[in-house]
Structure 1
């Protein structure tokens, strides 16, 4: 490895092979437990929801059940709303926000919509507070033509029976300082690419799917969330993560081209949330509440404007 390389694994300009992916995996340290933080809370809701085990991941000696919560009062005549979290396991408020929504708010919508909550799509990464899965693959790039991530494929299979019935999908994410200090470096090294500078937006914003969603839907969520936490301003070029703003705190692009989770249902109302818990202007609890507020606002709008 060159002494000038920006990441401790790999050779500049050369994509990783199996040895580098193994070396990366060996750097990941378990710092929390999916069983304690997620499985226990999901199972505690078994009297109020149907707990669906939609798959299992076996990575080395670790085995992870993949769990979803489904409305007990399921009515085939109603549309379906999907809430996902933990597609990137390190994005904690997405996992905790999905769980809190299920625990405290989902039943209030059960007479109008069938709800599916998948709080932690990527449990191996959740435990290690990292973005990728065991194979150094990003699940949130594998909901389109690519099918490299077992986490993504399992979710696609879970949702397949409800194709054409989805009203809403909101995918809960967050951005942390490690996006710049770790992930961007690791990704560039893994792909044999030069390191491109990137900054972290300071605040909450949304990524809409320009092919399927309405801007007024995104704006309604922003109005609700700004009562809880601050909205990310654009950078000096008027952009957020390189994309032009469609509205305050909103960027849009065809997410299916990137294989993002938000494209998986083709619902008429879809969005991806992003909060920034490392901002000095917020805290982790506020970020969880912002996620819950976003889900509730999304459901309220979608139900009020369903065709």
Structure 2
């Protein structure tokens, strides 16, 4: 690490304390509206779905000005214990725009095709404060997608776990919609290194779509079914010179794997046999916002078709 690449908060080699977190928070600017973009879209879906508020995130800034964000989920109207259950999540990282809008578009335009065949639970925007700031972390500079564990310090993660808890043992699949952006390398990864008092290690952002499987429960056929569908919409990320993606060796073309429970990732919360994390690359010159949303929708549809074929 060179000092010129060090994140402009804190002291190199020293983890942040409350003062640095407050300084980081003061840098975050509200850039879009969760109410307008997400809550309004959910209201339009009440005729098709059972809509549930599964919690509320409340944050207060240094001036004690509160922000309140209702956390919303959509449930199939035709819910039946005889059917497989699938969880679709978006916006665990609020800045990953196509995940949020892909989940909403799937709910609006595609879910009806699966009515009476599968129970669907959709949480389209898990981290609304971060959605508004186009930020990965929550208000407390915590990554919700490293916080899905008992006694979670991230209220967004804890609320989703409470929503899912009564249904444990019923899930056949969970697909979590994400993006890998250029800002992961220019902003987030330098920020997390600075926050934790560690050296920043540069990485190459993959140009294209890829998936993250679970090292403890690999499901290669499931991942390949999703990739085959998505490659009709957008390009699949090639491996880098080391045969890796984002610093992780390939399991197969377009697929890497993480210890999802050990890392506190969202796809570890259901106990489902089939899980996948999508990673869209919105900054590619070969992609556009509409294509990114379409890739997410295609991934969900492919996952559901696979589940219905094998369960």
TM-score by length of 1: 0.97
Gaps of 5+ in 2: 61-65
- Taking structure 1 as reference, are residues 55 and 145 closer, same or farther at Cα in structure 2, changes over 3 Å only? closer
Matching of residue 9 in structure 1 with residue 16 in structure 2: no
Matching of residue 21 in structure 1 with residue 21 in structure 2: yes
Contact 1:212-1:267 within 8 A present in 2 as well: no
Q: 2:256: which partner in 1?
A: 251
Q: 1:225: which partner in 2?
A: 230
- CA deviation map 1:219-275 (0-9, x unaligned): 111000000000000000000112111111011232111110011101011000001
Q: 1:93: which partner in 2?
A: 98
CA distance in 2 between counterparts of 1:123 and 1:150 reads 11
Matching of residue 104 in structure 1 with residue 113 in structure 2: no
Q: How does 1:133-152 map to 2 (within 5 A)?
A: 133-145=138-150, 147-152=152-157
1:47 is displaced (CA, Å) by 1.1
RMSD across aligned C-alpha pairs, in angstroms?
A: 1.2
Runs of 4+ in 1 over 3 A off after TM superposition: 2-5
Contact 1:88-1:130 within 8 A present in 2 as well: yes
Matched residue SS, 2:72: strand
- CA deviation map 1:9-31 (0-9, x unaligned): 10000000000000000000000
Q: 1:267: which partner in 2?
A: 272
CA distance in 2 between counterparts of 1:272 and 1:250 reads 10
1:79 is displaced (CA, Å) by 1.7
Contact 1:146-1:259 within 8 A present in 2 as well: no
CA distance in 2 between counterparts of 1:32 and 1:149 reads 22
TM-score by length of 2: 0.96
Gaps of 5+ in 1: none
Contact 2:282-2:288 within 8 A present in 1 as well: yes
CA distance in 2 between counterparts of 1:104 and 1:246 reads 33
- Taking structure 1 as reference, are residues 296 and 190 closer, same or farther at Cα in structure 2, changes over 3 Å only? same
- CA deviation map 1:144-188 (0-9, x unaligned): 356110000000000001000001100000011110111011101
1:4 is displaced (CA, Å) by 4.7
Q: How does 1:150-299 map to 2 (within 5 A)?
A: 150-299=155-304
Contact 1:50-1:71 within 8 A present in 2 as well: yes
Q: How does 1:19-168 map to 2 (within 5 A)?
A: 19-60=19-60, 61-145=66-150, 147-168=152-173
Matched residue SS, 2:120: strand
- CA deviation map 1:189-231 (0-9, x unaligned): 0000011011110000000112224101101110000000000
- Taking structure 1 as reference, are residues 3 and 114 closer, same or farther at Cα in structure 2, changes over 3 Å only? closer
- Taking structure 1 as reference, are residues 204 and 3 closer, same or farther at Cα in structure 2, changes over 3 Å only? closer
CA distance in 1 between counterparts of 2:194 and 2:212 reads 26
CA distance in 2 between counterparts of 1:233 and 1:4 reads 30
Matched residue SS, 2:88: strand
Contact 1:205-1:274 within 8 A present in 2 as well: yes
